């Protein structure tokens, strides 16, 4: 019996297999159709699937717009109803939708990190993507690939701290306490190639500082005055004009901080703030063009190019070069280096462009070279001048005497010549600083008289000179007590045009009256406005500043706001004992100290 069953099953087996194949084929058709119909539906209530979003991977850092891409679907684009980032819905003006692309405004991503982006569209499931936003990226053909760092990633690296010395192009020295990632370590992490030659740092506002690799990484840099060696740092925290690390903050960071190769090297302009990009390239560095020399014609003040040669005693020589560079020079025949004098030290402020010429009194060899970041130093240019003894020119003292306008005081004959009556004076350094730049003058070449009073006309002339204003033309009758022939008429006109002075009732200026401390404060505050320092104070803020003075009640109402502004700016201070003494006459030492503080205050290029 069992044998018979086996025979029957063997006979039926092929037919059963054929039937199974046929059934599976016929049943598969509706299943496949159902799957195809469901491809456009999600498992969430029958919603259609949204296109897949791709995050922006091209230089995706803060303060730049983000572009999310997708396989274009016009129906989905038309159905988009909103965009949210980290759960916050964006206003319509913060994003734009185009074929295959959604652009999100740069203002949305204020810090670095990972952001959850969700796109909502009617009838579709939410489209989601995680967008990484970096703080800083390194790019260029000097690295194998572009690398993006978030602030958290940078902060997780080994940090170094230092108090950097820096000099701006005013020039003035200052300190910057900073902490961050050593630049060398960061470039190593990005895999900088051995053949890399140039490194450029760009801030979010487009400001750039360019360096050769040699000058930035292969040349020693220092912190002065101690001369301590220091490495460049990408600071994540800093405190400007401070040596106190406890005052550091993340404001304007990351920032490039570098040491100085020499005590006077003007490095501050290379402290790129809100650093966004480091571009490393294999480009060969160029070389700065060498300086040229010019003779200043004493009659016309015109400058005429010269290769050197025979000149009259007292001839003045100017040096010129690429405006981006600093010209280092010597007059003793030695080769100039970064410790030599800088001819064009003043790059900003009222002294910008007022370079002190080289005075040739004896046979002189001038050697000069142009130096700045991003290119190799120029070749040394040599200019040899022989003094024609048979045609002696004027002495320096004679030139000063003839150039001095009638009614004005005599300037010091040469930079660095100290007045004999300011030794030990509390304002001595300020007096020497201003006199060396021909901003203030002595009563003679050697006498300053720091304790003498200063007149309203004299102080107005000082402010006009410090601001670099051209002398104006005094309109007839503008001030009844100022004659157009007076030595100070042009300065008074310029100061009045800039609203630095207004005069008294009745059309009087009182030029020969001794200036009081509150009058000086008022002129200083108005001069700051003329220099672009538009400052305002609330009533409570003004009262708080003035309340520090015991004699606050005797400050004239018309001068209160200007006195408060000058005090807040640190330009003018009280006297010992806590008084302001508004009606006390200011002396020449006080005027020098106040002018020096004023110069520092209006220098907008310092940190």
pLDDT tens figures, 421-462: 888 888 888 888 888 887 888 877 788 888 888 999 999 999
Do 254 and 302 lie in one domain? The reply is no
Is 363 inside any structural domain? yes
pLDDT at 408 (0 to 100): 43
Residue 313 domain-assigned (yes or no): yes
| Domain-embedded: residue 49 | no
Tell whether 204 and 272 lie within a shared domain.
yes
Single out the residue of 584, 603, 233, 597 nearest to residue 430, CA to CA: 597
Tell which residue, 490, 455, 500, has the closest CA to residue 470.
Answer: 490
Cα 49 from Cα 80, distance rounded (Å): 13
Beta bridge partners of 395: none
* Per-residue CA distances from 197 to 106, 212, 288, 439, 569 (Å): 32, 6, 16, 44, 44
Classify strands 375-376 and 286-287 as parallel, antiparallel or unpaired. Answer: parallel
Q: Are residues 251 and 364 in the same domain?
A: no
Structure tokens at 211: 């360096």
* The pairing of beta strand 136-139 with beta strand 275-281: parallel
Do 89 and 143 share a domain, yes or no? no
Alpha carbons 203 and 207: distance in angstroms, whole number:
5
Please, what's the b/e burial string for 221-250 (b: 16 or more CB within 10 A of its CB; e: otherwise)? bbbbeeeeebbbbbbbbbbbeeeeeeebee
What three-state secondary structure class fits 309?
strand
* DSSP per position, 76-137: HHHHEEEEEETTEEPPGGGEEEETTEEEE-GGG--S-EEEEEEEEETTBPPEEEEEEEBSEE
Instruction: Find residue 368's DSSP bridge partners.
Output: 329, 381
Are 49 and 124 in contact, with CB atoms under 8 Å apart? yes
**Residues of the chain with confidence (pLDDT) below 50:** 1-2, 4, 8-9, 21-43, 390-417, 604-607
Using CA atoms, how far residue 396 sits from 330, 389, 401, 415, in Å, is 20, 16, 9, 12
Q: Name the token pair of 355.
A: 């370079």
Encode pLDDT of 497-527 as tens digits: 889 998 888 888 998 889 999 999 999 999 9
Same domain for 310 and 326, yes or no, is yes
* pLDDT of the residue at 300: 64
Handedness of CA 38, 43, 47, 48 (dihedral sign): negative
Instruction: Please check whether residues 457 and 597 belong to one and the same domain.
Output: yes
Of 234, 254, 284, the residue at which a domain comes to its end is: 284
**Is residue 34 assigned to a domain?**
no
Q: List the one residue out of 445, 417, 450 whose CA is nearest residue 592.
A: 450
CA 600 – CA 197 distance, rounded (Å): 37
Spatial distance between the Cα atoms of 175 and 190, rounded to a whole number of angstroms = 30
Asked whether residue 61 is assigned to any structural domain, the reply reads no
Same domain, 81 and 217: no
Q: Domain for residue 428, yes or no? A: no
How does 106-119 read in b/e, with b if 16+ C-beta sit within 10 Å?
Answer: bebbeebbebebbb
> What is the CB neighbour count within 10 angstroms for residue 588?
23
For position 415, what pLDDT does the model report?
42
Please report where in the chains the tokens 């022989």 appear, as a residue: 386
CATH number at residue 322: 2.60.40
Residue 163 parent element (H or E)? strand 160-167
Last-in-domain residue among 393, 416, 433: 393
Range of the domain at 487: 451-602
pTM flag (> 0.85): no
What pLDDT score was predicted for residue 235?
Answer: 98
**In a shared domain, residues 278 and 375:** no
Provide the 10 A C-beta neighbour count for residue 265: 24
Tokens of 445: 């070449």
Question: In this structure, are 455 and 551 located in the same domain?
Answer: yes
Digit-coded pLDDT (tens) for 167-224: 988 888 899 999 999 999 999 999 999 999 999 999 988 899 999 999 999 999 999 9
Claim to verify: residue 306 and residue 327 sit in the same structural domain: yes
Question: Do both 263 and 146 map to the same domain?
Answer: yes
The residue out of 343, 365, 393 marking a domain boundary is 393
| CB 468, CB 351: distance < 8 Å | yes
Q: What integer best gives the mean pLDDT of the chain? A: 84
Dump the DSSP string for 508-531.
B--TTSBPBHHHHHHHHHHHHHHT
Task: Tell me the C-alpha distance between 47 and 45, whole Å.
Answer: 6
Residue 165 lies in a domain: yes
Domain count, the chain: 4
Beta pairing class for 113-121 and 127-133: antiparallel
- Asked if residue 57 is part of any domain, the answer here is no
Q: Do 170 and 273 share a domain, yes or no?
A: yes
Instruction: Determine the 3-state secondary structure of 44 from DSSP.
Output: coil
């Amino acid at each position: 019996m069992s044998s018979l069953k086996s025979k029957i099953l063997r006979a039926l087996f092929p037919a059963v297999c054929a039937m199974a194949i046929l059934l599976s084929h016929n049943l598969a058709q509706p299943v496949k159709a159902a799957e195809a119909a469901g491809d456009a539906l999600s498992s969430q209530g029958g919603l259609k699937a949204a296109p897949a979003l791709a995050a922006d991977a091209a230089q995706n850092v803060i303060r730049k717009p983000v572009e999310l891409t997708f396989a274009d679907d016009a129906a989905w684009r038309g159905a988009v109803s909103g965009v949210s980032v980290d759960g916050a819905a964006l206003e319509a003006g913060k994003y734009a939708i185009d074929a295959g692309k959604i652009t999100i405004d740069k203002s949305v991503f204020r810090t670095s990190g990972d952001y959850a982006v969700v796109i909502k569209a009617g009838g579709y499931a939410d489209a989601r993507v995680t967008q990484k936003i970096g703080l800083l990226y390194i790019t260029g053909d000097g690295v194998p690939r572009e690398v993006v760092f978030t602030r958290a990633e940078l902060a997780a690296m080994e940090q170094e701290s230092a108090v950097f010395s820096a000099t701006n192009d005013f020039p003035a020295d200052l300190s910057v306490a900073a902490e961050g990632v050593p630049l060398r370590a960061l470039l190593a992490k990005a895999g900088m190639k051995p053949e890399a030659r140039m490194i450029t740092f760009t801030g979010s506002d487009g400001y750039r500082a360019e360096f050769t690799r040699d000058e930035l990484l292969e040349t020693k840099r220092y912190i002065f005055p101690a001369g301590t060696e220091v490495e460049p740092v990408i600071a994540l925290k800093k405190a400007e004009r401070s040596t106190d690390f406890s005052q550091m903050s993340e404001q304007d960071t990351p920032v490039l901080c570098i040491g100085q190769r020499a005590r006077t090297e003007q490095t501050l302009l290379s402290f790129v703030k809100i650093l966004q990009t480091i571009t490393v390239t294999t480009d060969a560095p160029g070389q700065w063009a060498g300086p040229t020399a010019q003779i200043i014609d004493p009659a016309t003040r015109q400058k005429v190019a010269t290769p050197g040669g025979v000149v009259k005693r007292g001839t003045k020589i100017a040096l010129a070069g690429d405006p981006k560079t600093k010209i280092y020079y010597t007059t003793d025949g030695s080769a100039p280096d970064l410790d030599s004098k800088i001819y064009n030290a003043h790059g900003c402020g009222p002294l910008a462009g007022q370079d002190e010429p080289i005075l040739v009194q004896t046979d002189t060899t001038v050697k000069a070279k142009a130096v700045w970041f991003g290119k190799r130093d120029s070749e040394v240019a040599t200019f040899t001048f022989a003094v024609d003894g048979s045609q002696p020119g004027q002495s320096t003292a004679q030139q000063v005497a003839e150039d001095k306008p009638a009614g004005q005081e005599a300037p010091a004959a040469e930079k660095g010549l100290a007045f004999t009556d300011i030794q030990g004076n509390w304002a001595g350094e300020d007096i020497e600083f201003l006199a060396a730049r021909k901003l203030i003058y002595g009563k003679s070449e050697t006498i300053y008289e720091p304790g003498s009073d200063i007149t309203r006309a004299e102080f107005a002339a000082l402010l006009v000179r410090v601001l670099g204003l051209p002398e104006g033309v005094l309109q007839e009758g503008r001030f009844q007590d100022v004659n157009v022939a007076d030595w100070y008429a042009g300065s008074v006109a310029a100061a009045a045009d800039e609203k630095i002075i207004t005069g008294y009732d009745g059309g009087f200026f009182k030029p020969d009256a001794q200036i009081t401390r509150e009058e000086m404060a008022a002129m200083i505050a108005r001069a700051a406005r003329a220099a672009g320092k538009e400052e305002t104070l609330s009533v409570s803020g003004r009262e708080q500043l003035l309340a520090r003075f015991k004699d606050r009640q005797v400050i004239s109402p018309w001068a209160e706001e200007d006195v408060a502004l000058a005090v807040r700016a640190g330009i003018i201070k009280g006297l010992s004992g806590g008084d302001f003494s508004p009606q006390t006459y200011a002396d020449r030492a006080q005027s020098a100290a106040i002018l020096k503080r004023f110069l520092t205050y209006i220098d907008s290029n310092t940190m």
